[in-house]
Structure 1
């Protein structure tokens, strides 16, 4: 294979990025008797984050999501975390999903699909995304007992699945997450967030070769 062939193959495998026709941003607020959540995001950011939910491990995971998806993400949430972290964690996922769906708009020009496999020491996770407007969620492979792990003091392992499923439903995406290996509860959660981040990064990337909506039907 000549150098020219190699360069051509690389060009075909990695499409050049395109500038969005309009800013792909969203700013949403949601208030209930249990929490108040404000989310700002920019799909065409650099991974900047400013996050405060009252659940510090969750803050860490959301910061990782922003960093590795290159989505700028600012979240301010207050809630009844003195009772349980569940309400605030869930409500943040709801608003985050709604904001993502608003920012991605009609999906014109996006790659649509994303697939990433991410390690964190002994943990290995695959995430696959289809930004098609049809919510679906598959989650499998967590070791027995992971759901009952308490991480960072007030983040239950069971919340990982709940967060990802809630986000997928409100974002309007099909999301498959498979834990391929792992043992440490922290690593298992973080690898999942990072894999989802990388898959989202690929899926929402703008490809100048995509003309209009990335569907044979002409709409998503």
Structure 2
């Protein structure tokens, strides 16, 4: 099975993540930010990745350090679980609607990290979605893609900010599930490595 565990301990946060790419969508999330917890649970459920996250941090300052470090460690855990990527589908996309929102996510497990995120938020609502700053939603996605060493493209439309973010996490889950699926025995690259 393709499993991995990674930890990160700094003066600002402590993160421990376990990931099983060949799971069934079971999760145990212990994070002090409820909206982030909700998104990680949704990600696990829709990717069918088993996910355990224990995270603590200086959320009394703000949510930035914790959100960023969860993205970093989740990305590093994904890289470790994928190993040499032999046989993976590699490239996948997903379009997910959620009420008024529609998210399109495309990923390429190319080993060349890059993130293009078009996630416009309403100017007329709070500066947070739940207890997570809107700016840190994009930062989490960037941290995940850069440390997960994959190309991530996100495009979102809609009115409700919660729906937009949740649609992104569901679409990301489905796209990564498809990209990580083993569909052969070769490295999916003309270079012979990714």
Q: What interval of TM-score do these two structures reach, taking the shorter chain for normalisation?
A: over 0.9
Check if 1:178 corresponds to 2:178. no
Larger radius of gyration: 1
Q: Which runs of 5+ in 1 are unaligned?
A: 1-22
How far apart in 2 are the matches of 1:81 and 1:27? 24
How far apart in 2 are the matches of 1:130 and 1:151? 28
**Closer, same or farther in 2 for the Cα pair 1:48/1:110, shift >3 Å?**
same
For the Cα contact (< 8 Å) 2:119–2:138, is it kept in 1? no
How far apart in 2 are the matches of 1:85 and 1:102? 26
TM (norm. structure 2) is: 0.96
Any idea what the Cα deviations from partners look like across 1:46-75, whole Å, max 9, x if unmatched?
011100110011000001011101110000
How far apart in 2 are the matches of 1:171 and 1:95? 9
Q: Counterpart in 2 of 1:15?
A: none
How far apart in 2 are the matches of 1:65 and 1:87? 20
How do residues 1-220 of structure 1 correspond to structure 2 at under 5 angstroms?
23-145=1-123, 149-152=127-130, 154-179=131-156, 181-207=157-183, 210-220=184-194
Structure 1 ranges of 4+ moved more than 4 A: none
**Closer, same or farther in 2 for the Cα pair 1:146/1:57, shift >3 Å?**
farther
How far apart in 2 are the matches of 1:145 and 1:161? 16
Q: Which runs of 5+ in 2 are unaligned?
A: none
TM (norm. structure 1) is: 0.85
CA positional deviation for 1:158: 1.3
How far apart in 1 are the matches of 2:138 and 2:83? 26
RMSD of aligned alpha carbons: 1.4
For the Cα contact (< 8 Å) 1:147–1:157, is it kept in 2? no
